[in-house]
Structure 1
Amino acid sequence: MTQTIMRRDFLKAAAAGTGVAVAGLTTGAVADASADASFFRHGVASGDPLPTAVIIWTRITPVPEATPGSGAGPAAEVAWQVATDPGFGRVVASGTLATGPDRDHTVKVDVQGLAPATTYHYRFLSGGQVSPTGRTRTSPGPRDTVAGLRLGVVSCSNWEAGRFAAYRHLAAREDLFGVVHLGDYIYEYGTGEYAARGVVVRPHAPAHEILTLTDYRIRHGQYKTDPDLQALHASVPWMVVWDDHEVANDAWSGGAENHTPATEGPWPARLAASRQAYFEWMPVRTGPSGEIHRNLRFGTLADLTMLDLRSYRSQQTSGTAVDDPSRTITGDAQMAWLKNTLTTGDARWRLIGNSVMISPLALGALPASVLGPLRELLGVPEGGYGLNSDQWDGYTNDRKELLAVLPAGTVFLTGDIHTTWANDVPLNAATYPSTPPVAVEFVVPSVTSDNVDDILKVPARTVSLTAEALIKATNGHVRAVELDSHGYGVLDVRPERVQMDWYKVSGRTQADARATWFSSYASAYGSRRLTKASGPVA
């Protein structure tokens, strides 16, 4: 069966019982007239679609005092329903789940026994109330032929730095199978510590830096009150992975830059609290030991491999120490799993959800005025070394090991640095382009978090222009870089090529910000390199 994984024409398909796509409703969610906004105030979500399963999520507020992190409120039974029609006349799966303060009144169900490549509607019922209706979709069967796949790609959504208009524009699209979020879904900072050019657009709760399970639950709960985030969660399944700010800035396996044990307690306690809240509040599937790296397949067209580049990594370093073969960004077990996944899989395209940039980056030619904000974004040492030690540049042995086994059609999808990049990934940057690239990389801008000119508090497209020119002059594999815009990417995958279209919002602090296309790059299958595209995919 040949399929194009999109959301339009659902009603016709559902009537035929095939569910090839989801209805194109501009609000992103179908709200029930009976839904109590205060009872289901955090919306609904779905994630990690498989051919016969998908996760659905919500949270209840059974009594007013049962706010996130409060530990208050009674235990309650929550019923859930999954149907092939928005009116729930054809319910295909249902059940009940007990929730309460022990799980912060969240509800997460891994619904099994579904049909491949089918659009479903889901809702929750409790206390005489009905949740908003969400839409989700299962992936095609592993041997199904798929004509196309389109995904929204986002990262770095800081509540204090702006509004989530980027989510609203993605929710309004009719052509997405789902959304890939590459990390920094929440930020851990206290109010005013990391805002929009130093200005708090909307204050964090709690107001202090989050450290405890209560703190992380409150922060996750706050983010999920955003109406644009709720709309996008309700419209399509999400595939997520964490980066550092879900715990603390520049996190590694034994600590973080933004964690001081003497005043903030043991790192393992903070890490465990953040992870528990994340698993409670996010529609994500985990392995038997709580691991989050995983592989999702879309027929014969594409695999999406989501990496965890924080839990197992060595502490960041600088200078020649980055070449130490004992240092790792993936951990040995995840690297072995990743190499096996890439070398034994047979999907045409290998998409890798990669929270930090894998392409090498030399910054030695930049003046101090430009290097300063880039160092803040990229983690470059004070001495201006030509590397980014928080990213794969700080773990060169792991990068070399991975690049040596990449199959044709490997595409890295990257977040973290709040800016837009289109990179050929060289096996050896020093000899590029005479040494051909081995993959391509698309880096998406932040939803709201500060970029270069934001950090300098200068008008957009001023200092950043100098930085972009110098980066390209000293990094030939960087095909394009844009250091100013906030927004999102849309990845279009076809058997013959992949293309990333980048969109920017007119103002990250504006709830009604417009979104406009500003750049596109594509890669033909087998070329392992990028070419500029004249416009977005229709």
Structure 2
Amino acid sequence: MFGCDPRVSDNWLPDRTTLPSLSRRTLLRSSAALAGVGLSVAAAGGAGAAPSATPVGFAHGVASGDPLPDRVIIWTRITPSAAAQPGSGVGEPVSLTWEIATDPSFGSVVRSGAVTVGPDTDHTAKVDVTGLRANTNYHYRFTARGGAVDGHESPVGRTRTAPAPDSDPERLRFGVVSCSNWEAGYFASYRHLAEREDLDAILHLGDYVYEYGRGEYGARNGSVRPHDPAHEIVSLADYRIRHAQYKTDPDLMSLHARLPFIATWDDHESADNSFDGGAENHNPATEGDWATRKANSTRAYFEWMPVRVTGSGTEAALYRRFRYGTLAEISMLDLRTYRDEQASAGAGWRTVDSPDRTVAGRAQMDWLTNGIVSSPARWKVVGNPVMIAPCVFPPLDQRTTAAVTEMVGVPDAGIPFNTDQWDGYSADRRRLFDAIASAGIDNTVFLTGDIHTSWACDLPVDAANYPAGATVGTEFVVPSVTSPNIDDMLQVPPRTATVAAEEAFKAVNRHVRYVELDSHGYGVFEVARSGAQMDWYYVTDPTDPRAAARHATSYRVADGSQRAQQVGAPLDPASHRPGR
């Protein structure tokens, strides 16, 4: 994978000296309906394998996130002893010094400080470093002071601040990912993104970790690598252990060390198909009350992820906004914490248009709507965990229908919505779309994960009147990094049973410009003054830790057009060099 293996070094510098340039289970209900000691994190078995020995020191790498023009969060976790493993609740407090510099050798340190970590935060450290220059690349590291790990240095991370609010960047470029299930494969998509030099940040749209026990939701032919702990995660210790396991993946560690993340959660960070009062994958009789489980998952997420949270306790909010000069404003949504329970089959389908139902919660909906209609930025980008484009499912062939019915009870003739998506909360969507249309706002792009498949859609005010009627924006949906999609579910070769379903879906939903139901991978998204573009890249095999990636397709929406058009070539990596 690399010219040298940084995973065996306790002082890995993830710059060009070591990283050379190189050229839901239920979630699938919408898509399936269409198709029928340092960094010793790799055992001899290869990339992504579990540690071969109990690690002490900085065994989970470093990360950064939530870049603003004058600040960025830096993160790490120290393991002070063999007993003080993630989720253990034991271990002595450790003082960590941190430094942030403009050069990887730390000859020009611009900010530094110290933080003490202990079992109360699972020995994770998260520092919101202020007083930085806008639009600047920085390098950062942590050093342990005292105890058995005295003098241990973390890997060196690279991060980047956002442009100044009054600046006018020519372009911005982001890696876009979602749905990375440890058991379903290796994270080659993260590796390919880490090898690029043209990205400003990574947008992670949810399902960063999965809650299932071993063997409950793996790859087509079983689990590629086993989850820890072995059971479904419920307690605070469980969630901490699971987050820690994911952060030993070398490709994820590499990506975190090279670029800041702007992340939100979907459902699997807590439990499948979660809502404000429970989850489909939560049984109070055996797993306790939902509020406790949700609090456990939230606490672990806030400890282990480089995210900036507003409020505290039960009032802590993950939805937040990022300005990138006058070019773009990014609104990251939380569509699980405040939503009403999903409508069910039968009579429940008729409730989806109730004005009393919400997917975002009233406060977040007001925040989102007001932010879009009042934003001074040219492009309004929404990090959107579940699909917002309206969907109508066509009738399906018998075999595919059987697979769908077995999962979610979709009737043979099809249904007009998937109630886990915005289709199940159409009054919220209508209010949002009406506000955008009434205010005459253009250049709104929703970036979405969740459904493990790839889509490019226009967002019509009235889907039945498309393409004649007005549109309020576009939506680009990226596939899963590893989580099973349609060919995996149906146990058929890729690009066989799904192709006809894709064409049938587009015929019924004319605002869907592109849909691909089989492939795993990632997106590269650019906003520029003249337009916004998404490139889809697919990996050859998610069960191969060294899988290659290929460009699949690209769609672009021109400034002011509100409609996506296919373009022939992907973005040129050489055309954008942040910080150069």
User: Does TM-score exceed 0.5, indicating one fold?
Assistant: yes
Q: CA deviation at 1:340?
A: 1.3
Which structure has more RCO (C-alpha within 8 Å, separation ≥ 6)? Answer: 2
Q: CA deviation at 1:473?
A: 1.1
Q: Give the residue type in structure 1 aligned to 2:541.
A: G
1:313 to 2:364 alignment: no
Q: Give the residue type in structure 2 aligned to 1:259.
A: H
| Secondary structure class of the residue paired with 1:79 | strand
The percent identity for this pair of structures is 55
Give the aligned partner of residue 198 of structure 2: 175
Give the aligned partner of residue 31 of structure 2: none
* Equivalences for residues 240-259 of structure 1 within 5 A: 240-259=263-282
Give the aligned partner of residue 41 of structure 1: 59
| Secondary structure class of the residue paired with 2:67 | coil
Give the aligned partner of residue 501 of structure 2: 467
Change (3 A) 1:460 1:26: farther
1:338 to 2:356 alignment: no
Specify which of 84, 95, 99 is matched with residue 102 of structure 2.
84
Q: Give the residue type in structure 2 aligned to 1:351.
A: V
Q: Is the contact between residue 64 and residue 73 of structure 2 (CA under 8 Å) also seen in structure 1? A: yes
Specify which of 220, 229, 244 is matched with residue 206 of structure 1.
229
Q: 1-side partners of 2:397 and 2:20: how far apart?
A: 45
- Bigger CA drift: 279-288 or 358-367? 358-367
* Equivalences for residues 439-450 of structure 1 within 5 A: 439-450=473-484
Q: Is the contact between residue 458 and residue 471 of structure 2 (CA under 8 Å) also seen in structure 1? A: yes
1:350 to 2:380 alignment: yes
Change (3 A) 1:380 1:496: farther
Q: 2-side partners of 1:375 and 1:442: how far apart?
A: 27
- Bigger CA drift: 115-124 or 431-440? 431-440
1:513 to 2:547 alignment: yes
Give the aligned partner of residue 45 of structure 2: none
Q: Is the contact between residue 39 and residue 61 of structure 2 (CA under 8 Å) also seen in structure 1? A: no
Q: 2-side partners of 1:84 and 1:43: how far apart?
A: 20
Cα deviation, 1:392-446, whole Å, max 9, x if unaligned, reads 0000000000111222100000000000000011111111111122100000000
Specify which of 288, 291, 294 is matched with residue 265 of structure 1.
288
Q: 1-side partners of 2:161 and 2:379: how far apart?
A: 19
Q: Is the contact between residue 77 and residue 96 of structure 1 (CA under 8 Å) also seen in structure 2? A: yes
Give the aligned partner of residue 294 of structure 1: 320
Give the aligned partner of residue 523 of structure 1: 557
Give the aligned partner of residue 57 of structure 1: 75
Specify which of 160, 164, 171 is matched with residue 137 of structure 1.
160
Q: CA deviation at 1:186?
A: 0.3
Q: 2-side partners of 1:28 and 1:399: how far apart?
A: 45
Give the aligned partner of residue 280 of structure 1: 303
- Bigger CA drift: 284-293 or 252-261? 284-293
Q: 2-side partners of 1:381 and 1:314: how far apart?
A: 21
Q: 1-side partners of 2:16 and 2:397: how far apart?
A: 48
1:303 to 2:333 alignment: no
Cα deviation, 1:311-370, whole Å, max 9, x if unaligned, reads 000000042110111000010000111111111111000110000000011113223433
Change (3 A) 1:326 1:26: farther
Deviating 4+ runs (over 2 angstroms):
22-29, 34-38, 364-377, 379-384
Q: 2-side partners of 1:373 and 1:448: how far apart?
A: 20
1:100 to 2:126 alignment: no
Specify which of 417, 423, 426 is matched with residue 451 of structure 2.
417
* Equivalences for residues 116-155 of structure 1 within 5 A: 116-126=134-144, 127-155=150-178
Which consecutive residues of structure 2, in runs of 5 or more, have no partner in the other structure? 1-13, 22-36, 41-54, 145-149, 573-580
Q: Is the contact between residue 117 and residue 137 of structure 1 (CA under 8 Å) also seen in structure 2? A: yes
Cα deviation, 1:249-270, whole Å, max 9, x if unaligned, reads 0000000000010111000000
- Bigger CA drift: 198-207 or 163-172? 198-207
Q: Is the contact between residue 350 and residue 409 of structure 1 (CA under 8 Å) also seen in structure 2? A: yes
Q: 2-side partners of 1:329 and 1:212: how far apart?
A: 26
Specify which of 19, 29, 44 is matched with residue 27 of structure 1.
19
How many pairs does the alignment contain?
512
Cα deviation, 1:276-334, whole Å, max 9, x if unaligned, reads 00000000001123100000011011001000000000000042110111000010000
* Equivalences for residues 371-520 of structure 1 within 5 A: 371=401, 381-382=410-411, 384-406=414-436, 407-520=441-554
Q: Is the contact between residue 404 and residue 410 of structure 2 (CA under 8 Å) also seen in structure 1? A: no
Cα deviation, 1:195-217, whole Å, max 9, x if unaligned, reads 00151100000010000000000
Which consecutive residues of structure 1, in runs of 5 or more, have no partner in the other structure? 1-21
Please, what is the CA RMSD of the aligned residues?
A: 1.7
Change (3 A) 1:92 1:215: same
Change (3 A) 1:395 1:176: same
Q: 2-side partners of 1:28 and 1:371: how far apart?
A: 47
Cα deviation, 1:8-58, whole Å, max 9, x if unaligned, reads xxxxxxxxxxxxxx96667399xxxx9675410100000000000100000
Q: Give the residue type in structure 2 aligned to 1:142.
A: P
Q: CA deviation at 1:381?
A: 4.2
TM normalised by structure 1 equals 0.93
Q: 1-side partners of 2:169 and 2:135: how far apart?
A: 10
1:226 to 2:253 alignment: no
Q: Is the contact between residue 156 and residue 416 of structure 1 (CA under 8 Å) also seen in structure 2? A: yes
